[in-house]
Structure 1
């Protein structure tokens, strides 16, 4: 995500990249749980993420953390 800052990466791509080799079937919920855990470690307020943003219906994007608006 950091290497692709500003680009939205689809959930399917992230699942394929993270769970490689030996993982025949990984529920996409595993990605949601992993993102939640990452936010818990990276974000000041995980419920209002500044860095790891969800793009509804598509996937996730990494932002610079600058305030919008």
Structure 2
């Protein structure tokens, strides 16, 4: 499992709202991620063991775009 914890810029304060936005934008882009953590600010990814490099790059592009847009 991989995870990304989102916090408010310049702080260590959890940013659940940003995580929610990234979650929805990633889903709109075709990438399903999980959301959790004690404060609801962690995006969780569990890629399959059969993941190809091309699929990984595609997922990363979708996730990067969702983070940039959020």
Q: Name the TM tier (shorter chain).
A: 0.3 to 0.5
Q: TM-score, normalised by structure 2?
A: 0.37
Compare relative contact order (CA 8 Å, sep 6+) and give the higher one, 1 or 2. Answer: 1
Which structure's residues are more often helix, by fraction?
Answer: 2
TM-score by length of 1: 0.38
